[in-house]
Amino acid sequence: MKQQSVSSNTISLLFLFLFSIAGTALSDDGYTLWMNYKKVDDEKRLSEYQNAIQTIIVSGTSETCRAIHAELDHGLRGLLAREITFASSLVGKNVLLIGTPRTSEIIGKLGYGLMLRSLGNDGYLLKSAEFNGTKMTVVAANTDVGLLYGTFHLLRLIETHQSVASLDISSRPKTQYRLLDHWDNLDGSIERGYAGKSLWKWADLPKSVDLRYRDYARAAASIGINGTVLNNVNADPRLLDAEHLAKVAALADVFRPYGIRTFLSVNFASPMSGKFDLDGNRKGGIGNLSTSDPLNADVRSWWKNKAEEIYKLIPDFGGFVVKANSEGMPGPQDYGRTHADGANMLAEALGPHGGVVMWRAFVYNPDVDSDRVKRAYKEFVPLDGKFLKDVFVQAKNGPLDFQPREPVQPLFGAMPKTPLMLELQLTQEYLGHSTHLVYLAPMWKEYLQFDTYAKGKGSTLASIVDGSLQNYQMTGMAGVANIGNDRNWCGHTFAQSNWYAYGRLAWDHDLSAEQIAEEWIRMTLSNDSSVVASIRSMMMGSREACVDYMEPLGLHHIMQTDFHYGPEPSYDKGRPDWTPVYYHRADSMGLGFDRSSSGSNATSQYFSPVKEEFDSITTCPDMYLLWFHHVRWDHRMKSGRTLWEELCNKYYLGTAYVDSMLTTWNSLHNSIDPEIFLLVKSRLEKQKIDAGIWRDTCLTYFQKFSKMAIGHAP
Ligand code: BDP
């Protein structure tokens, strides 16, 4: 579980030994995430577990089964505080049996066949059973990876002190592709990364394989992640050269036993010859062609050959993510071709090998519409039905860019013939980086539960993404990772909860944000119920507070240009669709962007009755009001307050919530590991200062237009 490289193995082991003889006073540096496997401190539960798990049988010899064995050995040794006995046949009275009907005769005889049939490749059963007088806890699945997921579920039950006495659980993921997207660059930097440098040590690979890669895979698999995109969507073409593919293959070898497939972001101009411009930026690709036109025969065969080369090295390679014709990246439109032409060419290369294309819909060409948020819809909806079967169109949750709050991206529901993959952002690009405590599950739930009305009432975003509404043949979610090489992976301890929550929701979007928070707190911080309750309630309101102190009532993109951390509402230079002034449109009359039918008419991209609800200033929910309407300062809100009063109120509510989080946290100083306590405390203190800056900067700026006094309800 410690970070070390193979070459420094011995030294690290020595350290480990010295640390362990130093006793238990060592504080928690966060490295073990939600898998710290500390001894169960509830005596009753501990003896229940010790009694139920006396001998373990892991049926199967695959690398995945070896990983299961290692995880149980390590996990249960910690949790149950004793040596763990493994056996290959039934011995003793109480057995933990892990196997598939193919690898274990007993599983075959227990009669789970029908149940297993409905669980697919990744699902599993957790059962309490009896066989020939032996009491058993059973993890059964159709595949070894299913067993791995079931094993992690069992460990989670124990880590959260739940009974394992009469288990009857079956679980299968609601989406097929559950990916973490890393925006990591070859030089070790991470685009929008706030937790150190990239985990991937390109210079050392493939020879030296950091043991941390395995811990990454364990953590990801423990929450059901089954794919990792290694590099930035602003893709460096060199990742596809032979030298780098060997490095990618070495990573894929580490991830494979954990059921994690490897994917790459690719640069559309890869087949072209490349050079560096005066700023040192690479233009073009790694090939020797003079074009990357997707209808050119040489370009097409370049990609086919590249795919063959990749699959020779990585037989289970997952596929490509492509950012094309967006923010300066090359794409098919450079040759007058469509996004579908580009995506289909790549699908033809990957499809025969079992790979997919994730073609991003994050495009906002100003020629398409003067309102940035309408552009992706206008470019992609006409292409519905034109993509080959191995293509996903991957869209961010909102139509702009990962703001603290946006309405749903209207593409969802509007492309019934194209599987849409939902892209969420774990890294807090616009939500206080790794300094602010913002638990994102409530936000993701808000999107997933949003009713698009695409096929009438009940057409939630979740039902689109999981394929049930429009019968997608492939389904998936992608989360832009918040992971770096910081010792605790995510910078902020609570940012770990966002990694955790993303995986859990990608597996099952019906889980509640509260339940996920509770699991995470119990596994990471404390199993004491009152501590859990305090932290959970802190987390649950943290995202709404962030919206309130940054961009309440539908305001958006009023942050510092490019850095995206603090407020900069007065900024109006450069591309208009990147400037706060373009978005908030404050003037002497009021505030907000008129996207109603009397303005840019972005409301028309939604289905009825959402369209009408958003279009009218009286029915538009407060939380989206300034997104869709330019509202008079003296407009009466649903609360009875004027817009100006409500705005002030929200900013003060947000900052007050941060104060209350700090107070709650301080009250827990005896209940939390000291290292984690101090780390979180110092970040909350900074968050408090930042929230005040947001409030004061924005209100003072808007006051210039409203000419009203800043005040707030007590
Ligand atoms: C924006 C980021 C930018 C990304 C871009 C994208 O500011 O760094 O490259 O999205 O998603 O959120 O492509």
Dig out the tokens for 582 from the structure. Answer: 């373009």
- Over residues 238-250, the pLDDT tens digits come to 999 999 999 999 9
Helix (H, G, I), strand (E, B) or coil at 523: helix
In angstroms, what is the span from residue 360 Cα to ligand 1's centroid?
11
pLDDT of residue 37: 97
CA distance 127 to 166: 7
Query: What average pLDDT does the segment 654-683 reach?
Result: 98
CA distance 651 to 646: 9
Pocket test for ligand 1, best of 181, 234, 360, 578 (most atoms within 8 A of CB): 234
Q: Radius of gyration over alpha carbons of the chain, in Å?
A: 26
- Of the three residues 145, 171, 197, the one that is the final residue of a domain is 171
Same domain, 211 and 285: yes
- Per the structure, the complete domain to which residue 184 belongs is given by 177-511
Catalytic residue list: 327, 401, 429
Same domain, 166 and 184: no
Percent over 70 (pLDDT), the chain: 96
Taking CB atoms within 8 Å and a gap of at least 24, the contacts of 662-666 are 662/687, 662/688, 664/534, 664/535, 664/537, 664/538, 665/538
pLDDT of residue 9: 45
For residue 227, tell me if it sits in a domain: yes
Query: What average pLDDT does the segment 676-702 reach?
Result: 98
Cβ–Cβ < 8 Å for 231, 265: yes
- Reported as a pLDDT band with limits 50, 70 and 90, residue 21 is very low
Query: What average pLDDT does the segment 558-575 reach?
Result: 95
For residue 552, tell me if it sits in a domain: yes
pLDDT of residue 8: 41
For residue 437, tell me if it sits in a domain: yes
Same domain, 456 and 572: no
pLDDT of residue 2: 37
Same domain, 53 and 88: yes
- Reported as a pLDDT band with limits 50, 70 and 90, residue 152 is very high
Dig out the tokens for 539 from the structure. Answer: 């987390």
Q: Which amino acid is at 567?
A: P
- Of the three residues 109, 143, 171, the one that is the final residue of a domain is 171
CA distance 622 to 625: 5
Cβ–Cβ < 8 Å for 500, 221: no
Helices 529-550 and 643-667 cross at an angle (nearest 10°) of: 150
Same domain, 228 and 329: yes
If one counts every other C-beta atom within 10 angstroms of the C-beta of residue 524, the result is: 23
**Is the pLDDT assigned to residue 329 strictly greater than 50?**
yes
In angstroms, what is the span from residue 614 Cα to ligand 1's centroid?
27
Instruction: Decide which of 405 and 10 is more confident.
Output: 405
53 phi/psi in degrees, rounded to 5: -120, 90
**Is the pLDDT assigned to residue 76 strictly greater than 90?**
yes
User: What CA–CA distances, in Å, run from 535 to 496, 497, 672?
Assistant: 14, 12, 11
Nearest CA to ligand 1 atom 1: 401
Nearest CA to ligand 1 atom 12: 401
Helix (H, G, I), strand (E, B) or coil at 296: coil
Query: What average pLDDT does the segment 345-364 reach?
Result: 98
259 phi/psi in degrees, rounded to 5: 75, 20
Give, for 276, the enclosing helix (H) or strand (E): strand 275-276
Look at residues 61, 45, 52 and name the one whose alpha carbon lies nearest to residue 92: 52
Minimum mean pLDDT range among 162-176, 229-243, 273-287, 671-685? 273-287
Strand 420-425, strand 476-480: pairing: parallel
**Is the pLDDT assigned to residue 442 strictly greater than 60?**
yes
Cβ–Cβ < 8 Å for 499, 35: no
For residue 185, tell me if it sits in a domain: yes
- Over residues 157-195, the pLDDT tens digits come to 999 999 999 999 999 999 999 999 999 999 999 999 999
**Is the pLDDT assigned to residue 697 strictly greater than 50?**
yes
Please, which residues bridge with residue 199 across strands?
Answer: none
Report CA dihedral (186, 188, 190, 195) to the nearest 10 degrees: 160
CA distance 586 to 602: 19
| CATH classification at residue 243 | 3.20.20.80
- Reported as a pLDDT band with limits 50, 70 and 90, residue 3 is very low
Same domain, 378 and 422: yes
Query: What average pLDDT does the segment 555-574 reach?
Result: 96
- Of the three residues 149, 171, 193, the one that is the final residue of a domain is 171
Same domain, 191 and 113: no
* CB-based pocket (< 6 A), ligand 1: 191-192, 233-234, 323, 327, 362, 401-402, 429
Three-state SS annotation for 388-399 = CCCEEEEEECCC
Pocket test for ligand 1, best of 231, 358, 401, 403 (most atoms within 8 A of CB): 401
Query: What average pLDDT does the segment 61-89 reach?
Result: 96
pLDDT of residue 345: 98
Q: Which atom of ligand 1 is nearest to the CA of 183?
A: 9
Query: What average pLDDT does the segment 510-523 reach?
Result: 98
Look over the chain and give the mean of its residue pLDDT values, rounded to a whole number.
95
Total number of domains in the chain: 3
**Is the pLDDT assigned to residue 5 strictly greater than 50?**
no
In angstroms, what is the span from residue 527 Cα to ligand 1's centroid?
38
pLDDT of residue 713: 60
In angstroms, what is the span from residue 180 Cα to ligand 1's centroid?
15
Q: What's the half-sphere exposure (Cβ side, CA atoms, 13 Å) at 510?
A: 6
Q: Which atom of ligand 1 is nearest to the CA of 192?
A: 8
**Is the pLDDT assigned to residue 15 strictly greater than 70?**
no
If one counts every other C-beta atom within 10 angstroms of the C-beta of residue 435, the result is: 20
